[in-house]
Amino acid sequence: MRRAIISVVVILALRAQEPPPVKFSTTTNLVVLNVTVRDRTGKTVDNLIPEDFIVLEDGKRQKVSVFEFQHLSAPLGAARPLPPARERKGTIRAASPGQVQYRNRRLIVLYFDFSAMLVEDQFRAQRGALKFLQEKMTADDQVAVMTFSSRLMVVQDFIGDRDLLTRVIRGFRIGETSALAAELGAGNPDTTANTGAAFEADDAEFQLFNTDRRLSALATAARMLAALPEKKALVYFSSGIGKTGIENLSQLRAAANAAVRANIAFYPVDSRGLVAMPPGGDASRGAPNGAGLFSGATQYGLMDSLRAQQQTLYTLAADTGGKALFDSNDLSEGITQAQNAFQSYYILGYYSTNAAEDGRFRKTQVRLPEFPVLRVDHRAGYFAAKRFDRMTSTDKERQLEDALLLGDPVTSLPIALEVNSFRLSPGRYFVPVALKIPGSQIPLARRGEEEYTVFDFIGQVRDGKGAMVAAVRDAIRVRLGDEASARRSRGHFQYDTGFTVAPGEYRFKFLVRENQTGQMGTFETPFRVPESWPEREWVSVSSVVWSAQRELITAAAGRADTNQKREAAHPLVHNGEKLVPSITRVFRRNQTLFAYAELYYPSTSSNHQKPSIASTVTVYRGNDLVLESEPVVMEQYGTQRRATVPLTISVSLAKLPPGRYVAQFNVFDRIAHTFAQRRANIVVLP
């Protein structure tokens, strides 16, 4: 069963009575609100009764069916009866669905994201948690411990035993929880090189760079905790969530909405503590080259990178009613923030009169008409549950459109997406979009000797004012032979489309539905199409497409557009072959890395001289140059578009050991003596 739960903080102090223990069952339309009520002095009001409250949902009054007051006041070290200490791993347990199990207790989850945390940051997070347990934990506190590295684990269910929790935290195997190290050390013998077929690589590739993986784990933790109607705080220790180039805003919003429904506030803690940023960087990195050290550009870039990694943490806190802790070496303060935010509150539950599982936002209001001087604090509403798997054929088209417009994105099907841009003419750009779906997530139906599935794709592009400037709608039937089907579980489906826009700032939202199970995934990202400034006399560079695969257009497992003229004009199509973008930037040592870009000149330049362009690809590990391609020289324009120089460079990865790298596309105009470069993070697997 599914339950919508919302957090609402309330505090009051009027009538004193001890409500009897309350048990309630859950149904799809049960909504639980945590409400805090205060008087004029800020003191908690603790003696209200159900009849004092009026609860509204979208303006309609709801009947209060669940009512309980949670009294939290124990000082540090106060003696209070606690449940027997016991070690409980594997899951968050509730005595029965919807029961108020932890009466007059403060529920705090310590969540350690070790997937991208340096060893010193892991030690710092461990010390902060231990300090809280030894010095600041009260008898009201019930603490659970979760970790995430390659997968989410419940290390300890809620318990008030300080000694047991201390043993659990001390038991962390620091330094052995790197997701990247696990992937690179796996040495999976079943992996193969690209062969030009429809599916390649495995789920490790799909997830390695994707920040969705970490956000999805937070959403999973929220769903685990949803069985408990009490208010909960999740203290999220991490080293920031970095920008990788394939961020999915939909997964961020879905994680926050899952927390709101489960009555959870996120309290992110940056485990790096107070970071010193001396000019040029600290001793952990080599000295920078170029003029950036003297102009301030290097320092600005370091600070901008740090703040970008903290931005997602701040958003998680702001969207769920929590508070983030940055730039502090006392990480226990992050837990204390969550602890102090918990004051006595009321649990109000009602069965919504709106039973529609439409995924739409429901506005909630809690009023105390008899006590207008009291201040009632609660969240503004919640997103209803949604069911898209019981649709008739006539409803399916509307289903896609409704799902695309939902404020609570559908993220049951993981997807990754890449957006590039190439100039067609001054003021007009083609934007190819590549989308990847892990094959292991897709069940196939069989007809005769072939397996098949059907995908629906729908997307919208909106400008900075919210006006829709382009739309995508495709339905593709994918047919697979026995050989392709055998590789599907470790491969992926890749779809591409494109549209034409003018230079500017845009937001792209895309939704995919797989029609065997009805699973859907949403991807949302901003992107910018830069003007190439054709009046200038120096060269400008398009997006760089990184790939390890070329595929015959006729070899595609499914096609929505068979217009040969349009395919021939596609920037990534040459001689009947399409360059398939590597969206996740993950390659194997037995592959060849392809890099494709275009250079643009003013349209008049082609009338008086030919270009002379030298280009290379260099690969760096940290500050060390580990690989450089042979230079490619182009001294003529391409045949498809005027004043455009296409560049393709190939590099063998056989000599690179597995690990993380930075690939750099370098361009030098030998006539104008100008230089340009584009960078991308890549991973090389065995």
Q: Where are the domains of the chain?
A: 4-72+344-383, 106-188+201-331, 392-531, 534-686
Higher pLDDT, 442 or 413: 413
Share of the chain above pLDDT 70, in %: 72
Contact 516, 442 (CB under 8 A): yes
Please state the rounded mean pLDDT for residues 576-580. Answer: 84
- Looking at domain 106-188+201-331, its CATH class is alpha beta
Query: Cα torsion for 21, 27, 31, 32, to the nearest 10°?
Result: 30
Higher pLDDT, 154 or 402: 154
Q: Is the pLDDT of residue 620 over 50?
A: yes
- Looking at domain 392-531, its CATH class is mainly beta
What's the chain's average pLDDT? Answer: 77
Model confidence at 188, in pLDDT bands (50, 70, 90)?
A: very low
Please state the rounded mean pLDDT for residues 180-191. Answer: 37
Q: Is the pLDDT of residue 201 over 50?
A: no
Contact 620, 664 (CB under 8 A): yes
SS3 readout for 208-248: HCCCHHHHHHHHHHHHHHCCCCCCEEEEEEECCCCCCCCCC
Contact 74, 140 (CB under 8 A): yes
Q: Is the pLDDT of residue 8 over 60?
A: no
Model confidence at 400, in pLDDT bands (50, 70, 90)?
A: confident
Model confidence at 406, in pLDDT bands (50, 70, 90)?
A: confident
Give the whole-angstrom CA distance, residue 647 versus residue 181. Answer: 34
Contact 519, 241 (CB under 8 A): no
pTM of the model: 0.68
**Terminal alpha carbon distance of the chain:** 43
Higher pLDDT, 522 or 288: 522
Half-sphere exposure of 234 (CA within 13 A, CB side): 33
Higher pLDDT, 518 or 682: 682
The H-or-E segment that residue 598 falls in is strand 592-600
DSSP annotation string for 261-325: HBTEEEEEEETT-S----TT--TTSPPPPSTHHHHSHHHHHHHHHHHHHHHHHHHHHHHHT---B
Residue pLDDT, tens place only, 134-178: 999 988 899 999 999 878 899 999 999 999 999 999 998 887 654
* Identity of the residue numbered 37: V
Same topology between domain 4-72+344-383 and domain 106-188+201-331: no
Model confidence at 450, in pLDDT bands (50, 70, 90)?
A: low
Give the whole-angstrom CA distance, residue 138 versus residue 545. Answer: 55
Q: Is the pLDDT of residue 27 over 50?
A: no
Model confidence at 594, in pLDDT bands (50, 70, 90)?
A: very high
Model confidence at 179, in pLDDT bands (50, 70, 90)?
A: very low
Contacting residues for 311 by C-beta, under 8 A, at least 6 apart:
none
- Looking at domain 4-72+344-383, its CATH class is mainly beta
SS3 readout for 570-597: CCCEECCEEEEECCCCEEECCCEEEEEE
Q: Please provide the CATH number assigned to the domain covering 534-686.
A: 2.60.40.2550
pLDDT given for residue 165 in this prediction: 93
Strands (E), 63-165: 64-70, 106-113, 141-148, 152-159
Q: Is the pLDDT of residue 14 over 90?
A: no
